[in-house]
Chains A and B, each alone.
Chain A
Amino acid sequence: MDRREFLKTIGTAAAAATFGFSGLERVYSASIPAIAAAAQAPDLVAVRNGEPAALVDAAITAMGGMSRFVRRGQTVTIKPNIGWAVSPDLGANTNPVVVKRLIEHCLDAGAKKVFVFDNSCDSWRLCYSNSGIETAARNAGAEVVPAYSESQYQAVSLRSGTTLRTIKVHELVLSSDVLINVPVLKNHGGAGMTAALKNYMGMVWDRNEFHRKGLDACIAEASLARKADLTIIDMYRVMKSGGPRGNPSSKRELMKMLVASVDPVAADAAAARALGFEPSAFGYIDRAEKLGLGISNLDKLDVRRIVL
């Protein structure tokens, strides 16, 4: 932290303490270019016909640059899908190159620390290594954190939750300055589709509770614990059947696409269309919209489409 930032922080804290104006801090400390970028940026960016790294670069640029989301000295948590102990070419986990490129963007924007974790379905060590994400993220300069111990999870009460009153989420979700959700788009046996909102199940401790209480309601409400600041859906290689783990006969399509948005509901709506469904086909998208987490009607949004 340099002197200017230090003074700014002191000033903000003093102002907040004096006036009790809780929103002041965020407004005051945001840099002018970031505000300008946010004002101009589209609601959703979709990029296609490129390799993973190029897709990320184009999407981040169109979103107004990573500095719009990550400011100097902040901590960032990137939450990919590292659910399965399978190799990257099967599309069961987020593409490691996407994760790597995102980490590099965060560090370029001045992030103090970038964490990567997922509460995997298969044994976490095998998932972390077989997915290629552990190596890619470490090489890019991130800290790869395990998520297998209940002691890492903190209970959060969800005020507008009706099915989930409290939920235990990974401490990094709560403590990081910036949360970036980076799912991979897949067919899903239980929920129909897994993309942005469904990826939250890897941030919570008790997934089984979601199944017992009803997947649609729980998936929609989980985002209430903390809405991701940025959602990036990897649609480079899309598993269209037999998901989320995939089996030898799973259909996979090389879609070479990527969607970025600050609105997880809009991102999931785009993902649904990519799988060949209307967003209303998946109950949790509708529920999340009613909870005020986003807008699923893409016609109402400013969507920027980029073909590389």
Chain B
Amino acid sequence: VTRPEIPRARQARLFRAGRIFAASLVAAAFIGGIAAGAASSAALRLATLLSSVQLLPSLAAAFATGLAGSGLAWLVILALTALTGRFYCSVLCPLGLLQDAAQRASSIAARIFYRKPDPPTGSAFRTSRWTKRAGSFARHPVPVVFTMALAAIAVLGAMLAPSILAWLEPYALAARFFASLFGTAWEAAGEAGMWLGVQLPAPVLRTDAVWLAVAFLPGFLVVVAAVLKPRAWCRWFCPSGALLGLAAARAPFRFYIDAPTCTSCGACERVCRTGAAHSAGKNIDASACVSCFDCVAVCPTGSARYGRACYKLSRASQPQQVLHPALNKPEPAAGISRRNFMLAGGTGIVATALALPAAGLNRSFIIRAGSDGTSAPVTGNVVLNGTARPWASPPGAGSTARFSRLCLSCGLCARSCPSGVLRQGVAWWKFPAVLEPYLDYSRGFCQFECVACGEACPTGAIRQLSVDSKTSVAVAKSRLDLPLCIVVEKGTRCGACAEHCPTGAISMDRVPQAVFPAPVLDTTLCIGCGACETVCPAEPKKALVVSGLAIHETARVLPTRPGSDAQLSPAEKGAPVKGGVEGFPF
């Protein structure tokens, strides 16, 4: 260790701390927005902003709505990655942060429970026989073909079927995991606060065990894998990571090892999360490196560095044909050959081509998503309040087909919904996109002047509507079964449906079947908010059933009376009440 290297090491530790701090802020913002989004619009806006700069949501948005707004972020991300490396993975990706946190937690647990010196890479279970086997597997370099296939799936998936990609897209996966874990915990805290008389900005607690399991499990598996092998997901499964790896492969600014000063001590390789650092070969695979600064911080000679590396020079200075310590084979060369590139691209296309028909068993995925929502309807019945009917997509989706084409099932819209009518349940009839949200009128109804879901959606699957246009978008239509109405059936006064109807589609009027006024429905005014069905007191079947429209319509709107403060004309006021005194009606 030479004296001048010490400031470099200190600087590197500062950078590492900085990246951990930035990543933690991003994670906190995500968790806050996903947990408390329905209660706090500021929290939601922050999470929405972060979700709109995620790679694949942005790419999907670009294919959906063109190169504007969040559809531009992917270009910036790829360009920056091609220049500077995969900082996206170490700072912006919520699933990356989750894995780092799991790894860190396990290393702390190891220190507390095993009382062994902290292993450099920090896994609590590194020394078990099982993980040794897993570790030796992990030390095999990830086949480039595999990575390339994942990257191809990322692009083709974002282009053709984000709903399939939903299972692999890291942001959506993390969002669902956060919602299942922190969202539920926060809602439970809100409920507990109620008992204690403390007000928390928490949404209403709604337990949904099946959703909880399906949203939680994939994220949990990623966490377990990360404890066994740091960033296991990023290395082997992540389509975003694969795409970014391609972009970063020849980044001019990158993590590299200065060969002349390197002693091949192995410190960088031990600490490397993704197996990118090769101590013997004195190189760092820029396509696998997630820019965490760990190697730079631990390098005793200051040879591991971040900066402008002359690629050819460092290659030339490396001893050729170094044997891989684990495999007794030559070190894999950094970078990707043209042959591998072609091979992988082909594999990806074939993989996606195979996945699409499999996914399309229930419906057609590959459809042109016109901005007017003209596309083949995606049908499927949902059973709500004991009645099966076509499912309804949220206002701004255009059509069920367009929605299903673009939705990544991250669930941020459902988290933002103040009434909970937009639900991320487990919709088996939509397989494989079972976590795609739909309107569940048994839980609440769509709030008339609310456009939160469109503001939350990172892909544009739910377009952002103005309040004015939203209030006339019909996503479903109500149907009245008058014999089931309690005014007719029980002969009592009701009118809950008309009370709640925001458009005036339902009014109470005399009908021959009933003594008291009964509901009369004008479907041309109905926007399918579901208020009438939610509040209908008829049992066991509701007198009003709201069925989703495959293609959204524009509802007729009642003429607005001029100025709400207008005095009614004498004719509208009617005859003055008898018995009034001093201008009072009594």
Contact = CB atoms under 8 A, between A and B. Distances in A.
Interface stretch (B15-23, B294-302, B353-361, B575-583): B575-583
Contact of B494 (A215, A242, A276): A215
B566 A211 contact: no
A148 B493 contact: no
Contact of B191 (A49, A149, A208, A250): A149
A89 interface: yes
A145 B197 CA distance: 9
A274 B577 CA distance: 8
Given A126-B450, A245-B502, A249-B559, A146 B199 contact: yes
Contacts of A7: none
A48 B583 contact: yes
Interface in A203-230: 208-209, 211-216
Contacts of A247: 501-504, 558
Nearest to A85: B447
Interface in B484-525: 486, 492-496, 498-504, 507-508, 517
Contacts of A151: 191, 194-195
A269 B38 CA distance: 41
Interface residues of A, number: 57
A123 interface: yes
Contacts of A91: 564
Contacts of B349: none
A191 interface: yes
B492 A214 contact: yes
A55 B217 CA distance: 60
Contacts of B39: 125
Contacts of B495: 188-191, 215
Contacts of B579: 273
A17 B260 CA distance: 95
Nearest to B504: A247
Contacts of B418: 123, 125-126
A288 interface: no
Given A46-B586, A307-B583, A248 B560 contact: yes
B499 A245 contact: yes
Contacts of B580: 273
B450 A85 contact: yes
Given A212-B486, A242-B504, A249-B558, A121 B499 contact: yes
A208 B535 CA distance: 7
A158 interface: no
A236 B514 CA distance: 35
A252 B561 contact: yes
B75 to A, nearest CB: 37
Interface in A247-267: 247-254, 257
B554 to A, nearest CB: 15
Contact of B447 (A122, A191, A305): A122
Contacts of B450: 85, 123, 126
Contacts of B444: 123
A237 B565 contact: yes
A109 interface: no
Interface of A is mostly: mixed
B186 to A, nearest CB: 15
B447 A46 contact: no
Interface string A177-205: 00000000000111100000000000000
A303 interface: yes
Given A48-B583, A249-B504, A276-B585, A208 B496 contact: yes
B448 A85 contact: yes
Nearest to A188: B499
B423 to A, nearest CB: 14
A184 to B, nearest CB: 13
Interface in A141-193: 145-146, 148-149, 151-152, 188-191
Contacts of A294: none
A121 B502 CA distance: 12
Contacts of A121: 499-500, 535
A37 interface: no
Nearest to B40: A125
A190 B517 CA distance: 8
Interface string B183-208: 00000000100110001000010000
Contacts of B582: 305, 307
B304 to A, nearest CB: 51
Contacts of B564: 89-91, 237, 252
A145 B199 contact: yes
A276 B493 contact: no
A73 interface: no
A281 to B, nearest CB: 11
A126 B507 CA distance: 24
A180 to B, nearest CB: 21
Contacts of A212: 486, 492, 537, 539
A269 B501 contact: no
B503 A253 contact: no
A126 B447 contact: yes
B493 A214 contact: yes
B585 A298 contact: no
B567 A274 contact: no
> Which of A152, A188, A249, A269 has most chain B Cβ within 10 Å?
A249
> Which of A121, A247, A251 has most chain B Cβ within 10 Å?
A247
A305 to B, nearest CB: 5
> Which of A46, A211, A253, A305 has most chain B Cβ within 10 Å?
A211
A240 to B, nearest CB: 7
Interface string A42-54: 0000101100000
Contacts of A110: none
B420 to A, nearest CB: 8
A123 B504 contact: no
B574 interface: yes
B586 A298 contact: yes
A216 B515 CA distance: 14
Contacts of B539: 212
A270 interface: yes
Contact of B499 (A190, A237, A305): A190
A130 interface: yes
Contacts of A146: 199
Contacts of A273: 577, 579-580, 585-586
A303 B499 CA distance: 32
Contacts of B221: none
Interface string A265-300: 000011001101000000100000000000000100
A305 B194 contact: no
B573 A253 contact: yes
B110 to A, nearest CB: 41
Nearest to A217: B492
B568 interface: yes
Contacts of B508: 189-190
A114 interface: no
A244 interface: yes
Given A123-B447, A274-B585, A307-B582, A248 B494 contact: no
A233 B572 CA distance: 23
9 smallest CB-CB distances across A and B, nearest first, come from: A190-B495, A247-B504, A189-B498, A189-B495, A211-B537, A123-B418, A273-B586, A249-B558, A248-B560
30 contacts: A48-B584, A85-B448, A85-B450, A86-B448, A86-B449, A89-B564, A125-B39, A125-B418, A151-B195, A189-B507, A189-B508, A190-B493, A190-B499, A190-B508, A191-B495, A212-B539, A215-B492, A215-B494, A240-B568, A248-B503, A248-B560, A249-B559, A249-B560, A250-B561, A251-B561, A253-B568, A254-B565, A273-B580, A303-B586, A307-B583
Given A123-B419, A215-B495, A249-B504, 12 more contacts: A89-B564, A122-B419, A149-B204, A190-B494, A211-B537, A245-B500, A247-B502, A249-B558, A253-B568, A253-B573, A274-B585, A305-B582
